[in-house]
Amino acid sequence: ETGVTQTPRHLVMGMTNKKSLKCEQHLGHNAMYWYKQSAKKPLELMFVYNFKEQTENNSVPSRFSPECPNSSHLFLHLHTLQPEDSALYLCASSRDRNSPLHFGNGTRLTVT
Amino acid sequence: AQSVAQPEDQVNVAEGNPLTVKCTYSVSGNPYLFWYVQYPNRGLQFLLKYITGDNLVKGSYGFEAEFNKSQTSFHLKKPSALVSDSALYFCAVRDDNTDKLIFGTGTRLQVFP
C-alpha cells in the first residue's frame, strides 16, 4: 500500500471517447503529479500541482486536462486521444518539491 | 542542460553475487539524486536519496548508492543480490538551479537463482 490510489487500473477507450483518471492520496502531501510511462522512454512529467495550484505543464496536448479540486485529489480528463497516447499513467505525491515521490500503481490506458 | 543516463538496459546477476546499476548525471547546480524501483504492474517505489552529507547513502532492502562528484555518478549497489530484487530501477536527479526532476530510462535487473 503506497498511500496513493489510482482508478481505474486499466482503461480501454476509443479515440472519440471522454474518460477521466482519478488519483487520491491520504499522506497529507502538498504536491501532486501526473507522469506518463511509455516503453523504452524516460518517465515524462505532464503536470504538477502545488497546494492545488498548477505549477507546471510540460507542453502537454490539450486533449489531456488536469483538475485538482483539493490537495488530496487529482484528475486527468481525457478526450479525443490518439493511439500513441496508450501508456501507463502514474500519479505521485510528495510533501514538498524536494521530498521523495510516492507513486500510485498507475492506470494502463489503451486507445483504440 | 540537465540530464541523467542509465547506460545499461539490462543487468544480469546470479543470486548471492554483488550487483551494480549505473547512473550518471549532468546538472548546472547542486544535484539531488534519487533511486526508485518498479515491480511489475506497480508504480515506482522510493529506495534512497542523496541531498548532502556522506557520499555513501543507505536505503531500503539493503541497497546503497555512492555519490561521486568528480565522476558525476550515483551508482546503485547491493552486496548480495536476491531473486526478489529483479525489477526495473530508475535513477532521477533534481537540479537545484532549475528545480526540475528528471528520470533516466530505467535498467532492468534480472537476478538468476
Q: Quick check: A105 pLDDT over 80?
A: yes
Question: Residue A19 — pLDDT band, cuts 50, 70, 90?
Answer: very high
Location of C-alpha cell 523504452: A40
Cα distances from B6 to residues A7, A23, B76, in angstroms, run 31, 29, 11
Rounded to the nearest angstrom, the minimum Cα separation between B80 and chain A is 25
Gap between the Cα atoms of B53 and B8, Å rounded? 28
Gap between the Cα atoms of A112 and B20, Å rounded? 40
Rounded to the nearest angstrom, the minimum Cα separation between B70 and chain A is 23
Gap between the Cα atoms of A71 and B9, Å rounded? 36
Contacting residues of B for A101, CB less than 8 Å apart: 36, 44, 46, 101
Question: Residue A81 — pLDDT band, cuts 50, 70, 90?
Answer: very high
* pLDDT single digits (tens) B9-61: 999 999 999 999 999 999 888 889 999 999 988 899 999 999 888 899 999 99
The residue in chain A having the minimum alpha-carbon distance to the alpha carbon of residue B40 is A105
Contacting residues of A for B51, CB less than 8 Å apart: 98
The residue in chain A having the minimum alpha-carbon distance to the alpha carbon of residue B91 is A42
Gap between the Cα atoms of B48 and B103, Å rounded? 14
| CB distance B65 to B75 below 8 Å | yes
Question: Taking the mean position of all CA atoms in its chain, how far away is CA A17?
Answer: 18
With an 8 Å Cβ cutoff, are A103 and B104 in contact? Answer: no
Q: Quick check: A58 pLDDT over 80?
A: no
Contacting residues of B for A104, CB less than 8 Å apart: 43
Contacting residues of B for A97, CB less than 8 Å apart: 94, 99
Gap between the Cα atoms of B85 and B111, Å rounded? 7
